[in-house]
């Protein structure tokens, strides 16, 4: 399945599953936090310790500032009634202390922000690498499944979003410690103030929790469509798509589709945002009413002389900060628990295991291959499809043989060579190599022995040399091998015409990049197959973008270089196919004919029909 289709199919399969987590599920999701902090610790133990210590110290600062402020006011009141009989030395000491605490608070705040930012960046990089490492272990078949791709997309999103969760959890702990300090004074004065405070902020907590649930459900349900939106944004303004967009006049269609999707997102998001704002305002009024009720109680106590003016400011300030902290903690708790639910998406991705099982004690790969490959009743179908891509394949690919695969689009030719390279494992049947099941060999060793170029090869936005070196990335510094591979595919003549030769940047994405023609790119792709001293060469439509003369030159060179190697060629051009020792004709995933070019023409079957149809085009 192509990447552009995954978004369209994914939205059909996924919306029904986007249910908002209930309170119990969010609480259960908090169990993800220890695992999350293990990752944070692995990212940087040093920054984790520094951030924790800074927050512990910061937690005590608000109480210290409030208490020193209380002492200052009481001292001012005392001085105002002393008629100058008391020294002001104590007052200025207290002011200096409060000033010092303010500076320390600012320094700690900036240091914490810096540490969290650095730790967050490291965590994002660390988890991104982990995602790429895990993705590299998964099967090609899994990447072609839309639900898997949604999981991968959400896991990628977590690498950035979870850095905020880190800061939120640590801030939560810091605020809880601060609340513990501030609550001591209020409890000593009047325990009912704490009760009033909690009752005042509970409605806001419930409202915040409800709307976070709705936001989670909306965001999760939009995942496939947002990928479609990103894809439409890309094809609407890209150097790779510009020519077709212009020639087919697609801009109107693309823009309308973008407007429709983006408008839907805006409508859904704005509706939820408006409701959240209205209810949030109402809950804020309730919270303010609770605060001023407590404030009135404190004022009355001050007027009656039960407490000093300094204590009034201390208690009022403590209550105000406690209210703010409690609101923040309850609100942040919803975000933290919601973030912990999102963490499930992140960890779920790492729970996905490859279906292709690698042998723990692989057989040594035969060098040279003696007998070849035997397909025994091999069939394969994709996990998200009921249709067989290949079925009942029974044939032998002999060592050193040149085999061609022929068939119309969708006949299963590319799937067959992917089975040979063990990018897929057969759904039924088995493939033998020199009499042993292919699954018994090391998968890395197998792929080292295969030089393969697919028809949808990548055009890397890298240098000319790097584009060839990807065929054997371990030899990326081996310039001699790279240039020799370019000579074999005739790509060396392209390099000679470029200003930067083999160091010339290719593609238009980066500065000073040069775009090549389809045929030139294809010769570079062919050079990748020559980067390995592989026993098996697989070329899937290798000359589709070449003209007749270039095709002839490439295949003459290929025939010379492939002597003694086992070769599989997929091509629609019979001038290429007829060079093979043997030809397999596929139709709807099944093998319907087998033989040499001459033998198949004599049979006057499907191959002969296709050959004569193509020959008519040259008459």
- Distance between CA atoms of residues 582 and 395, nearest Å: 11
Residues 340 and 228 in one domain: yes
Does residue 515 carry a pLDDT above 90? no
Residue 389, classed as helix, strand or coil, is: strand
Residues 430 and 383 in one domain: yes
pLDDT for 163: 67
279 in any annotated domain: yes
Residues 36 and 138 in one domain: yes
Which of 422-436, 444-458, 469-483 is least confident? 444-458
Does residue 361 carry a pLDDT above 70? yes
Contact, 119 vs 40, CB < 8 A? yes
Residues 292 and 152 in one domain: yes
Does residue 326 carry a pLDDT above 90? no
Complete edge-to-edge strand list for the sheet that includes strand 566-570: 450-453, 536-540, 566-570, 402-406, 582-587, 590-595
- Distance between CA atoms of residues 478 and 467, nearest Å: 13
Output the DSSP codes for 461-490: SSBHHHHHHGGGGGGTT-HHHHHHHHHHHT
Residues 542 and 527 in one domain: no
Residues 386 and 346 in one domain: no
Question: Pick the residue with more confidence: 208 or 498?
Answer: 498
CATH number at residue 393: 3.40.50.300
6 in any annotated domain: no
Ranges 151-165, 275-289, 444-458, most confident: 444-458
Note if the bond before 368 is cis, omega within 30 degrees.
yes
Q: What angle do CA 76, 77, 79 make, to 5 degrees?
A: 65
CATH number at residue 203: 1.20.1560.10
Range of the domain at 58: 23-351
Q: pLDDT tens across 230-265, in order?
A: 888 888 877 667 767 777 777 888 888 888 888 888
Domain boundary among 351, 386, 419: 351
Which of 50-64, 322-336, 442-456 is least confident? 322-336
Q: How, if at all, do strands 436-437 and 372-381 pair?
A: unpaired
Residues 216 and 294 in one domain: yes
141 in any annotated domain: yes
Q: pLDDT tens across 369-410, in order?
A: 999 999 999 999 887 778 899 999 999 999 999 999 998 888
Residues 294 and 431 in one domain: no
What is the mean predicted confidence (pLDDT) over 267-292?
A: 79
**How many domains are there within the chain?**
3
pLDDT for 23: 60
Question: Pick the residue with more confidence: 176 or 485?
Answer: 485
309 in any annotated domain: yes
Domain boundary among 292, 316, 351: 351
Q: pLDDT tens across 183-199, in order?
A: 776 776 667 777 777 77
Q: pLDDT tens across 95-145, in order?
A: 899 899 999 999 999 999 899 888 888 888 888 888 888 888 887 877 777
Which of 4-13, 146-155, 452-461, 567-576 is least confident? 4-13
252 in any annotated domain: yes
pLDDT for 18: 45
388 in any annotated domain: yes
Residues 522 and 542 in one domain: no
Residues 163 and 41 in one domain: yes
4 in any annotated domain: no
- Distance between CA atoms of residues 293 and 305, nearest Å: 19
300 in any annotated domain: yes
Number of helices (H) and strands (E) in the chain: give both, helices first.
22, 10
Phi and psi of 445, rounded to 5°? -60, -45
Does residue 556 carry a pLDDT above 60? yes
Does residue 466 carry a pLDDT above 90? yes
Residues 422 and 325 in one domain: no
pLDDT for 155: 73
Whole-number mean pLDDT of the chain?
81
pLDDT for 494: 93
Residue 350, number of CB atoms within 10 A of its CB:
12
Does residue 558 carry a pLDDT above 50? yes
Question: Pick the residue with more confidence: 461 or 81?
Answer: 461
Residues 542 and 499 in one domain: no
């Amino acid at each position: 399945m192509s990447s552009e289709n995954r978004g369209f199919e994914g939205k059909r399969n996924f919306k029904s599953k986007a249910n908002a987590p209930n309170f119990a599920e969010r609480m259960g999701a908090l169990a993800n936090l220890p695992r999350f902090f293990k990752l944070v610790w692995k990212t940087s133990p040093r920054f984790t310790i520094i951030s924790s210590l800074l927050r512990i110290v910061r937690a005590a600062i608000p109480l210290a500032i409030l208490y020193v402020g209380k002492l200052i006011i009481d001292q001012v009141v005392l001085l105002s009634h002393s008629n100058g009989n008391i020294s002001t030395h104590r007052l200025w000491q207290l002011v200096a202390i409060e000033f010092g605490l303010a500076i320390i608070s600012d320094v700690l705040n900036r240091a914490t922000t810096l540490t969290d930012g650095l730790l967050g960046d490291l965590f994002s990089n660390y988890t991104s690498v982990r995602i790429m490492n895990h993705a590299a272990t998964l099967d090609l078949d899994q990447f072609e499944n839309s639900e898997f791709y949604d999981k991968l997309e959400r896991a990628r999103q977590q690498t950035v979003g979870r850095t905020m969760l880190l800061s939120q959890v640590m801030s939560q702990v810091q605020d809880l410690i601060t609340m513990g300090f501030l609550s001591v004074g209020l409890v000593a004065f009047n325990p009912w103030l704490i009760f009033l405070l909690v009752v005042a902020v509970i409605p806001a907590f419930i409202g915040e929790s409800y709307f976070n649930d709705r936001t989670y459900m909306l965001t999760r349900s939009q995942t496939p469509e947002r990928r479609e939106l990103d894809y439409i944004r890309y094809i609407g303004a890209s150097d790779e798509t510009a020519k077709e967009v212009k020639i087919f006049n697609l801009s109107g269609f693309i823009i309308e589709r973008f407007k429709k999707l983006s408008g839907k997102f805006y409508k859904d998001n704005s509706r939820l945002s408006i409701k959240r704002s209205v209810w949030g305002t109402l809950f804020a009024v309730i919270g303010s009413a609770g605060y001023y009720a407590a404030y009135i109680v404190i004022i009355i106590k001050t007027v009656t002389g039960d407490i000093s003016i300094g204590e009034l400011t201390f208690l009022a300030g403590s209550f105000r900060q406690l209210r703010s902290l409690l609101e923040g903690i309850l609100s942040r708790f919803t975000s933290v628990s919601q973030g912990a639910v999102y963490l499930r998406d992140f960890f779920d991705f790492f729970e996905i295991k490859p279906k292709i099982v690698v042998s723990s004690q692989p057989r040594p790969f035969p060098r040279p291959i003696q007998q070849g490959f035997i397909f025994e009743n091999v069939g394969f179908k994709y996990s998200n499809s009921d249709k067989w891509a290949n079925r009942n394949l029974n044939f032998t690919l002999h060592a050193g043989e040149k085999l061609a695969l022929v068939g119309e689009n969708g006949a299963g030719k590319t799937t067959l060579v992917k089975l040979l390279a063990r990018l897929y494992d057969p759904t039924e049947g088995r493939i033998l190599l020199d009499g042993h099941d292919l699954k018994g060999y090391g998968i890395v060793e197998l792929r080292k022995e295969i030089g393969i170029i697919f028809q949808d090869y990548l055009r890397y936005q890298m240098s000319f040399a790097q584009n060839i070196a990807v065929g054997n990335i371990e030899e990326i510094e081996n310039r001699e091998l790279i240039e020799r591979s370019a000579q074999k595919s005739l790509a060396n003549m392209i390099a000679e015409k470029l200003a930067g030769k083999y160091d010339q940047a290719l593609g238009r994405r980066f500065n000073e990049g040069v775009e090549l023609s389809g045929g030139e790119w294809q010769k570079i792709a062919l050079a990748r197959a020559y980067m390995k001293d592989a026993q098996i060469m697989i070329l899937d439509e290798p000359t589709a973008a070449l003209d007749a003369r270039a095709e002839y030159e490439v295949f003459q060179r290929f025939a010379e270089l492939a002597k003694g190697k086992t070769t599989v060629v997929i091509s629609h051009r019979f001038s290429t196919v007829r060079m093979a020792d043997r030809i397999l004709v596929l139709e709807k995933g099944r093998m319907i004919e087998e033989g040499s070019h001459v033998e198949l023409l004599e049979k006057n079957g499907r191959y002969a029909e296709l050959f004569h149809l193509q020959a008519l085009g040259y008459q």
